[in-house]
Structure 1
Amino acid sequence: MLTKRDLLRSVALAAITASTANSALAQVQTGAERPGFLKAKDIAEAGFIYGLPIVMNYAVMHEYAIDRNSGQFKAPFNQIKNEPNVFTYKDTAIVTPNSDTPYSFVWMDLRAEPIVLSVPAIDPKRYYSVMLCDGNTYNYGYIGSRATGSEAGDYMVVGPDWKGATPPGIKKVFRSGTQFSVAGYRTQLFNPDDLGNVRKVQDGYKVQTLSAYLKEPATIGAAAIDFPKIDKQLVKTNFFEFLDFALQFSPPQENEKEMRAQLARIGVGPGKTFNFKDLSLEDKLEVGLGMKEGQRKVDEAVANVGKEVNGWRISSLPGDSAHYNGDWLKRAVAAQAGIYGNDAAEAMYPLTRVDGEGQTLDGSKKNYTLTFPPGQLPPVNAFWSLTMYDGKTQLLIENPINRYLVNSPMLPSMKTNADGSLTLYVQNKSPGADKEANWLPAPDGPIYLVMRLYWPRTEAPSVLPAGEGTWKPPAIAAAK
């Protein structure tokens, strides 16, 4: 009789066959360094949860800054790429993408020297932010409307081991926890006719090495790196090989030293005693089981993240290293729910897959409405939006009116009810010409909805603290 474990092992074997078929199996290792048959599963499970955000980040970095043929390539390291448009269904590198704010990106290689990010003076009425996120997916700093104001300024980003003087004129120094890091710029777009103004703001974003900023010759160069190709299929079979590669650029922080030591026992990361690919077939099967269980735990945690309020899940997942404090599951959930999400102070993200009755949202079966009572729109200092995603892929959906969200800048063109309330129509087909201004097109299948509250108010009414705030998002109602 097959036990559940036997069945899982057969599934794991199928999953890893591709990674083992072309390599000779090593002799079973003996001695204290070998993790052991059952221990390998436990290490792999914990290591998968720990490593998921790191590998996800590497995959995006590879598509955006390394692989010029990826179809998603933006710019080489230390060069900014401005996107003078919002994300659409054609953008697939990042799950749950923001379609509110045209993005700018710069992937920074901090190995040789710091990078200076310069921002222009920006109209205080136009929200913008520059989020600094390292290879661990820690948000280690912000520049922008909330964090530093709307004035022009020069800011320096340094690597984990950098030691040097701060030049005059630098307003603030931000230290990345890893040698590669990304700066994600969000610049508010008021309406489609505003794109030209956004481009002017983006043209004012400057990125340069410290030596260029100081008008001095660069004296040290960074060594060339052979970055391993990564895609969705390779991640399934080579996950720990990608994690192994990425960890060399990430000096261990105190709260992760034990996890790093455990990973080294299955051949992952600096300090490893043998290569992961040299594990025995038995251990590889156990690693496959561990990954499967780790993914199950992340999926379960994403589904139950935060606190449920009227069918919406409200949480404050993303943050810096201190925010996570070694809670690797919390970090993995933040990445899977929407990698590169903002800190709670910068933006809150109520999300839902269900209506107010707890029934799964499905555009092929029902039409829905979302009604904000009079005077109870989301309370923000900047702006708010509601974005529609495919419930299976968490990507934006193609639709006949090219509308992926509704947001507060659109309010003047929307129709309010006689009592001052605002009703949005969430459905696959048009609700009729008289209601199309308030229509958020839905997929012909499962629905995933995300609110974004940029620079949420802290005074009542407020969505903060997460799940406990005085403002609560209204429930999605299924049409009768």
Structure 2
Amino acid sequence: MYGTAPGLYLLAPASWEGEVPEGITKVYRFDTAVSAVIPRAFMDDTDADRAAIQPVINQIMMYPLAEYTGKLQTTDWSQAPTLPPFGGDGGDSETHWVDPTIFFDDLPALLTEVPAKPGEQALYDWIGSLTDPTVTAAHADLLRATAVAADKDLIDPLFQFRNIGVPAGNHWTTQHNGAQFGTDYLSRTAMAKANIFVNSPNETAYFYLDLDEAGERLDGDRTYTVTFPAGQLPPARGFWSLTLYNQHHFFAPNDLNRYSLGTKNKDLKSNPDGSLTLTVQATRPDNADANWLPAPAGEPFSLYLRAYWPEDAILDGTWTPPAAVPA
């Protein structure tokens, strides 16, 4: 839905054959029984912009077709309740969406809910053979043990950014087929595990970093600098951000409630030569903290650079992110 104009849009599964009511701007189809929509609205990191953008956010609504009136509906999202984290404890552990001990119990329903794409039916039939009751009954313990082992030895490592995608220089990795994986099932699995809901490359470029310039794991006990040379900020037509996540891929709590730096931060201080240096460490720096990205003390962490609406220099690999240099 990238680049859509304001309007009333209908989201429906591919199998839906209902009548499109008058006033609908466009119909978007999704090819599974389950889908998700994640609206984004850019704002500067200021109280004034936060207040100014609220009326815009209030116009982003989703509701069943039965409630469609042909007119724009609004709500006050500033009053929305805060929901507890699902499957985790808010940052102290990884959220586990799949229980390998019951994977083969859940698999038949999943194969029905997410139908095969063109060219995948033979693969579905092969996978589906593992759900035959005569197979599962006779080999229940083996299937369960195999699923647990695969979750630990194959899936868990994909949670580490350094194990996914392709090298992008300076120990960063990236991926070039987000949201259009095709038969690249390894990348599809990795994104589902570590970075679900990615956009297509022309919408957003993603760069992941677990290691510093020397190849050592990023750690909150150390200080790092990330310096963009003059004229070499991430080339994005929209905006860019450098975000820090703890080892469980959650924001790291800090007194500033600051989890990223980028286009939204209007008070970033450039160096005399025009370069921009961001400091990543656990303690507040002695100098001005405008360029400080707080890290979790004594814990591994990851850096994640996003460039929305990237320019060709990112898409063709001409531009690459700078290294995280330890002090």
Same fold (TM over 0.5): yes
Q: 1:381 to 1:354 in 2, by over 3 A?
A: same
Structure 2 match to 1:123 = none
Q: Is residue 177 of structure 1 aligned with residue 31 of structure 2?
A: yes
2:100–2:148 contact (8 Å) kept in structure 1: no
Which blocks of at least 5 consecutive residues in structure 1 are unaligned?
1-141, 216-228
1:367–1:426 contact (8 Å) kept in structure 2: yes
Q: Is residue 383 of structure 1 aligned with residue 236 of structure 2?
A: no
1-side partners of 2:87 and 2:295: how far apart? 31
Question: Among 176, 198, 202, which residue is 2:53 paired with?
Answer: 198
2-side partners of 1:233 and 1:370: how far apart? 33
2-side partners of 1:301 and 1:204: how far apart? 35
2-side partners of 1:385 and 1:324: how far apart? 24
Structure 1 match to 2:141 = 281
1-side partners of 2:276 and 2:161: how far apart? 33
In structure 2, give the amino acid aligned to 1:408.
T
The CA deviation string for residues 331-364 of structure 1, in whole angstroms up to 9 with x for no partner, is: 0111222111221111111110111222221121
Q: 1:244 to 1:297 in 2, by over 3 A?
A: farther
1:302–1:336 contact (8 Å) kept in structure 2: no
Where do 1:278-317 residues align within 5 Å?
Answer: 279-295=139-155, 298=158, 303-317=163-177
Structure 1 match to 2:290 = 437
Q: Is residue 407 of structure 1 aligned with residue 248 of structure 2?
A: no
Which blocks of at least 5 consecutive residues in structure 2 are unaligned?
71-85, 89-95
Q: Is residue 464 of structure 1 aligned with residue 315 of structure 2?
A: yes
In structure 1, give the amino acid aligned to 2:174.
I
2:161–2:194 contact (8 Å) kept in structure 1: no
C-alpha displacement of 1:409: 2.1
Q: 1:327 to 1:304 in 2, by over 3 A?
A: closer
The CA deviation string for residues 422-446 of structure 1, in whole angstroms up to 9 with x for no partner, is: 11111111121x2311110111221
Structure 1 match to 2:217 = 360
Structure 1 match to 2:14 = 160
Structure 2 match to 1:371 = 227
1:264–1:273 contact (8 Å) kept in structure 2: no
C-alpha displacement of 1:393: 0.6
In structure 1, give the amino acid aligned to 2:275.
S
Structure 1 match to 2:83 = none
2-side partners of 1:164 and 1:202: how far apart? 29
C-alpha displacement of 1:297: 6.7
Question: Among 205, 217, 220, which residue is 1:348 paired with?
Answer: 205
**TM-score between both structures, scaled by the size of structure 2:** 0.83
C-alpha displacement of 1:243: 3.5
2:210–2:302 contact (8 Å) kept in structure 1: yes
C-alpha displacement of 1:171: 2.6
Structure 1 match to 2:106 = 242
2-side partners of 1:297 and 1:371: how far apart? 29
C-alpha displacement of 1:259: 2.6
Give identity over the alignment, percent: 31
2:160–2:194 contact (8 Å) kept in structure 1: no
1-side partners of 2:244 and 2:161: how far apart? 22
2-side partners of 1:380 and 1:301: how far apart? 22
Structure 2 match to 1:395 = 250
C-alpha displacement of 1:212: 3.3
Where do 1:298-337 residues align within 5 Å?
Answer: 298=158, 303-319=163-179, 323-337=180-194
1-side partners of 2:214 and 2:145: how far apart? 42
Structure 2 match to 1:422 = 276
Question: Among 124, 139, 153, which residue is 1:260 paired with?
Answer: 124
2-side partners of 1:388 and 1:452: how far apart? 11
Task: Give 1 or 2: higher helix fraction.
Answer: 1
CA-based RMSD of the aligned residues comes to 2.6
C-alpha displacement of 1:264: 1.9
1-side partners of 2:56 and 2:111: how far apart? 36
In structure 2, give the amino acid aligned to 1:369.
T
How many residues are treated as equivalent by the alignment?
A: 303
SS in structure 2 of the partner of residue 199 of structure 1: helix
In structure 2, give the amino acid aligned to 1:441.
P
Structure 1: 4+ residue segments shifted above 6 A: none
Structure 1 match to 2:68 = 213
2:136–2:143 contact (8 Å) kept in structure 1: no
The CA deviation string for residues 355-383 of structure 1, in whole angstroms up to 9 with x for no partner, is: 1222221121x211011111111111111
1-side partners of 2:63 and 2:257: how far apart? 36
**TM-score between both structures, scaled by the size of structure 1:** 0.58
1-side partners of 2:219 and 2:244: how far apart? 12
Where do 1:13-28 residues align within 5 Å?
Answer: none
The CA deviation string for residues 156-175 of structure 1, in whole angstroms up to 9 with x for no partner, is: 11113112444443232211
1-side partners of 2:174 and 2:216: how far apart? 18
2-side partners of 1:257 and 1:333: how far apart? 22
In structure 2, give the amino acid aligned to 1:295.
I
2-side partners of 1:371 and 1:302: how far apart? 21
2-side partners of 1:301 and 1:422: how far apart? 25
Q: 1:233 to 1:202 in 2, by over 3 A?
A: closer
2:245–2:303 contact (8 Å) kept in structure 1: yes
Structure 1 match to 2:73 = none
1:388–1:449 contact (8 Å) kept in structure 2: yes
